[in-house]
Amino acid sequence: MGELRWCFLGRVEYAAARRLQTRLADLRARGGMEDLVLLLEHGPVVTVGRNAPLPDPRTVRDRPVVRTDRGGDVTYHGPGQLVGYPVCRLPARGRGVRSFVSAIEHALCDVALSLGIAATPRRGYPGVWTGPEHAPRKLASIGLGVRRAITLHGFALNVDQRAERGFEGMAPCGLAGVQVTSLASLRARPLPSMETLAARLARGVAIRTERRWVPEALDAAELPADDGESGDGRSDGEGPTEHSRAFLLG
C-alpha cells in the first residue's frame, strides 16, 4: 500500500464536506493524489441512507435532513463529533470493503484505548461499542460507499455529550432501543483537543489499513477549492450513479 495523508478541517458544513470528498475521490480515481482522510466536525444535520425511510419529523427538531448514497439508515452529525472521510483506493472493483470497514473499526477502538476506554466492534452491528453485551452503547458509526474503487462517506466518533444529545429521540442507524455514548462520558479526565484526536485517528487508520503514515497534516489550502458543484455534476455530491455502491452503516 502507499502512504496516507490527512487533514483536519475544523467545522465544515455537511454539503461542503461532501462536495470536497467527491472532488478528491475523482482526483484519486485519476491517480492525481495519494490516499487521504479528511477529519472535521459538522453543524447539526441528519443523514439518511439511500434506501432508508425518512425520519419522523418530530425527531429531527428543525435540523436539515439529507438523503445520501451511502448504505445504512438514519444518523446524526453535529458539534462534539469527530467525522472522518477516507478517500482511499481499494483493490480492483472495490473488493476489500469489508476488511477496510473492520480496519476503521479497530482504528477507532485504538483511539479509545489510548484514552483508557475499552471499546470493541460487534459482529453484525457495524461501528464501535462499549459496555456489556446485554446493554451496549454506541461510541462510533461507520457508513461507506465505493465508486470506481474509491471510498466515499466514512465514520463518526462521538467525542463529547453534545453528540449524545443530538441523537435524543432517534434510533441511531435504525437500531431501536440503542443508546449512544461519547469519549467524554466514559472518561473522568479532560480529553485532548479535537485536532489531537484527529491526528491519533488518522495515524490509527494508516496503521490498520497498512498504509504509510505521514505525520504532517495537509493544510486546507492544499485541497481543491470549493466550486459549488461535485465532481460528478451533482450540486450536493449525493445520489447513486452507475459506478457507485452503497455499503453498511452502523
> What is the set of active-site residues?
173
Distance CA(230)–CA(26), nearest Å, equals 9
- Asked if 79 and 151 touch (Cβ cutoff 8 Å), the reply is no
DSSP 29-67: HTTSS-EEEEEEE--SEEEE-TTSPPPPHHHHTT--EEE
Distance CA(16)–CA(178), nearest Å, equals 30
- Asked if 191 and 183 touch (Cβ cutoff 8 Å), the reply is yes
- Asked if 75 and 91 touch (Cβ cutoff 8 Å), the reply is no
- Asked if 125 and 140 touch (Cβ cutoff 8 Å), the reply is no
- CA distances in angstroms from 202 to 114, 147, 162, listed in the order given: 14, 22, 22
Distance CA(92)–CA(41), nearest Å, equals 31
